[in-house]
Chain A
């Protein structure tokens, strides 16, 4: 890290940064912390262990885990194809990967609900072939979370695959390994940190997601109600204590996830990849 002594502007820049950070992020976040201190431990526990709250945490985490796993597999296939194989229109497809980052979540929400509802393009086909309904069911939540999680996986694996030294593959091949062995013993271990980082990012995004999920979820308490929606429901009932307690648990969980992702990214950097 270069240390500069002659460059100007450190004091104003750092002061502005810290004041703005405090005003927009830190003070409002601490408001939630202080609000939750107004609850006694028993009150807090009673809110958190309420059956509907626990059910919504289960729905959210199971959906986000499943979606991140599917995004992991899909994302790996897409990243591999985009890096390794030439095909027409590749640049266009590569640019399209970021669509879920750019598309407002409310738009994603209504579009996904329209496509996957029983009368929708995919919903109808799945209904007639498998007899399964996707929209307004817990599985609908998973589909929405795959949509928003996919680019995280592709964009973390892609640069690592690009930087990957094919000389290692050549060495494995010349020593007699077949493609499958090379893939499992040489390529996969090198991609693993990136894949895990992408998985964790997709999972973290899925857990907090609101807009793209609520339209397709059906929002049945105990069955398909996600935690962010429950927080909003509590707020609409002026149950600020309830919303704060649930929000605090969510916040702590996202801190833990953030820490985990930072560790994974550190590991990824040490392995020579970059983000």
Chain B
């Protein structure tokens, strides 16, 4: 998480005005062309044929099914990733054990694996030719090209999101308050809900927020396991792809506008949470001084 700080420095260190303006100009140009323009383009393309066409595209049964599946996927994966993140952070940030660094590396691993490989590994386990393929076929259980596969692939790509926010945060907060709660007679759950959770709440929400954005927006991993069955296994990002490839640009960008809206909301909430957490940490530091 980053905090903006304006550095005041003596005149001898000031860069010449032309240089400052040049760099500010370059920054605005890069951010404008690479980041702002794409965001605007989503909207102009989505509304290229007017509001009515936009609304019609979004109320197509296939679009609605895609939105429902995306919401369902997030509703399953976000809680699972969150519970895992809290458990992992509690173990890693509060206890010493051998292999801790290896565990941290393994938790981060899904970040550095290509999303396509994340999908591929589940095909190799659950696919028709996979390890469990014949058994699943015998018992008429569908995982690949069905919703469970989409959920599993999303669980993989969102795996580190909550843990990697909480581990450094809990290490920084320290364990004194929790030990104090215990010595005053709190039971472990009271300690967790009354001391740990309030301390980590902003960081936890931050991780949940980013996890949710990724769960709803994941494309590569889900694309491998989904099978692109319209109305059944298309998530919203996959629906965007399918309609785009069919030259239904308004339909595609209408779906994309929802996802872009999600991204903007995510960025706004993220900025607020960063600000909140900085305030809290400042207050905590002041209190301990």
Among B52-60, B151-159, B197-205, B279-287, which stretch is in contact with chain A? B151-159
Tell me, yes or no, whether A174 is within 8 Å of chain B by CB. Answer: yes
- Chain A interface helix/strand/loop/mixed: helix
Are the C-beta atoms of B41 and A121 separated by less than 8 Å? yes
| B121/A250 in contact, CB under 8 A | no
Residues of B within 8 A of A115 (CB): 37-38, 41
- The answer to whether B109 and A258 touch across the interface, beta carbons within 8 angstroms, is yes
**Size band of the interface chain A makes with B:** 35 or more
Residue-wise, chain A 155-194 has the 8 Å CB interface mask toward B (1 for contact) of 1001100100010011001100001000000000000000
User: Which residue of chain A has its CB nearest to the CB of B19?
Assistant: A179
Q: Is the CB of A111 within 8 A of B218?
A: no
Q: A85-B20, A85-B24, A208-B116 are in contact. Are A106 and B238 (CB under 8 A)?
A: yes
Do residues A93 and B95 form an inter-chain contact, with CB atoms below 8 A? no
User: A215 at the A/B interface (Cβ < 8 Å)?
Assistant: yes
Cβ proximity bits B239-250 to A, threshold 8 Å, 1 near / 0 not? 011001000010
Complex: how many Å from CA A32 to CA B113?
13
Q: A7-B95, A107-B240 are in contact. Are A24 and B120 (CB under 8 A)?
A: no
Chain B CB within 8 A of A6 CB: yes
* Contact A29:B121 (CB < 8 A) given known A96-B31, A208-B116, A254-B114: yes
Q: Are A7 and B175 in contact (CB under 8 A)?
A: yes
Interchain CA distance A27-B130 in the complex, whole Å = 13
Q: How far is the CA of A17 from the CA of B93 in the complex (A)?
A: 13
Contact A81 B34, beta carbon cutoff 8 Å: no
B interface residues, how many (CB within 8 angstroms): 105
**Which of the listed residues A13, A107, A108, A150 has the most CB atoms from chain B within 10 Å of its own CB?**
A107
A101 contacts across to B, CB distance below 8 A = 210, 213
A247 to B124, CA, bound (A): 11
Q: Within 8 Å CB of A80, what residues of B?
A: 23
Q: When the two chains form their complex, are residues A208 and B237 in contact, meaning their CB atoms are under 8 A apart?
A: no
Q: How far is the CB of B250 from chain A (nearest CB, A)?
A: 12
The reply to whether A105 and B219 contact each other, CB–CB distance below 8 Å, is yes
**A210 vs B47: C-alpha distance when bound (angstroms):** 27
The answer to whether A112 has its CB under 8 Å from any CB of chain B is: yes
The answer to whether B110 has its CB under 8 Å from any CB of chain A is yes
CB-defined A-B contacts under 8 Å, sample of 15: A8-B188, A14-B91, A29-B121, A31-B121, A31-B124, A81-B23, A99-B267, A105-B237, A107-B240, A170-B12, A170-B13, A228-B115, A235-B120, A251-B117, A262-B105
Which A residues form the contact surface with B (CB < 8 A)? 1-4, 6-10, 12-14, 16-18, 20-21, 24-29, 31-32, 35, 74, 77-78, 80-87, 90-91, 93-112, 114-115, 121-122, 146-147, 150, 155, 158-159, 162, 166, 169-170, 173-174, 179, 204, 207-211, 215, 227-229, 231-232, 235, 238, 240, 243-244, 247, 250-251, 254-255, 257-258, 261-262
